[in-house]
Amino acid sequence: MSYRTKILRFVRHWHARVGVITALFLLLLAISGLALNHTDVLSLAKRDVKATWLMHWYGLKSTIPTQGYFFKEGYLAAADGRWVMDGHLLREGADQPLVGAVTWAETRAIASVETLYLYTPQGQLVDKLSDAELPGKPIKQLGLAGDKLVLETVRGSFVSIDALTWLQYNGEQPIWSKWQTLPSNDLSEVKKAFAPSLPLERIILDLHSGRIFGRYGPLLMDLAALVLIVLSISGVWIYLRIVRKLPQH
């Protein structure tokens, strides 16, 4: 057996074995890359993953609130910018602290420091009032005076029958909504609603870059990329060798 044939055999032998091992990484890179190329179509950023083992792997822990605001029927709990009403996610990424929530007419009024939200009991947004739509801000408290909505702001207290126009309020002490302890029977659904989650896009990005495998993950993917480069060169080399050996017609 000639020296050249020996080298060809050696390269083919290792090209095949390393190729099989690296195929897994190639598949991972190709599939995750395809998905990331179509993030919008696949709505990856909007899909939340809550799998406990994965959240545990990421080291994510959630803050479970034990207190909230009460409506006539139902409650509102908030933590880490997440608002949960009756066990359902109402808002994510809320950057202002809550100051009150009450049942008002057919709606549920929820006030943060800068904004007043009106929701249906099913969680559909009816109206959002901020800036000039409010009689003043920051809002300090939210309450009721009979069937009227009352806001206490730094400019004083204001009352409204429709949340469109506001009048200065000097009447009797309104009933201000208060942060209260949630009953234990609601806690299990609160726990579920506040379970940590990550957008699918982030997980696929971490898979693609190797970060999901920890500190040395990106190095592992770098190594896989280098091996793929070597494999593509060895593949071309083997092909050329074989083609040259084939009988010419």
Partner 1 sequence: MVKNTIATLACVLLLMISSSAQAIQQYLTSEQFLAEVYSNEPSKPQALWLNKETAKQVEKILGHAPNQMRQRYWKIGNSSAWILEEIGKEEPITAGFVVADGKIAQARILTYRESRGWEVRYPAFLKQFQGVQLQADDYLNQHIDGISGATLSVNAMVRMARLALYFDKLSRAE
Min dist CB 118 to partner 1, Å, is 7
Nearest approach in angstroms of CB 164 to partner 1 is 5
Based on the shown chain and the rule CB under 8 A, indicate whether residue 92 belongs to the binding site for partner 1: no
Report DSSP state, residue 12.
H
Nearer to partner 1, 125 or 233 (CB): 125
Strand runs (DSSP E) across 57-147, as ranges?
A: 67-70, 75-79, 82-85, 88-91, 98-104, 107-112, 115-119, 125-130, 139-145
Name the minimum Å distance from CB 131 to partner 1. 6
Cα gap 234→32, rounded to integer Å: 25
Provide the minimum distance between the beta carbon of 247 and partner 1 in the complex, in angstroms, as a whole number.
58
Indicate whether 162 belongs to the interface with partner 1 (CB under 8 A).
yes
Structure-derived torsion over alpha carbons of residues 94, 63, 98, 182, reported in degrees to the nearest 10: 140
Q: Which residue has the tokens 């897994």?
A: 24
> What is the smallest separation between the CB atom of 109 and partner 1, expressed in angstroms?
13
Tell me the one-letter amino acid at 159.
V
Q: Residue 206, class by beta-carbon neighbours within 10 Å (0-12 exposed, 13-18 middle, 19+ buried)?
A: middle
Question: Total residues contacting partner 1 (rule CB under 8 A)?
Answer: 13
**Which 96-155 positions form the footprint of partner 1 (CB under 8 A)?**
118, 120, 124-128, 131-133
Please identify, using beta-carbon distances, which residue of 20 and 132 lies nearer to partner 1: 132
Binding site for partner 1 (CB under 8 A): 118, 120, 124-128, 131-133, 162, 164-165
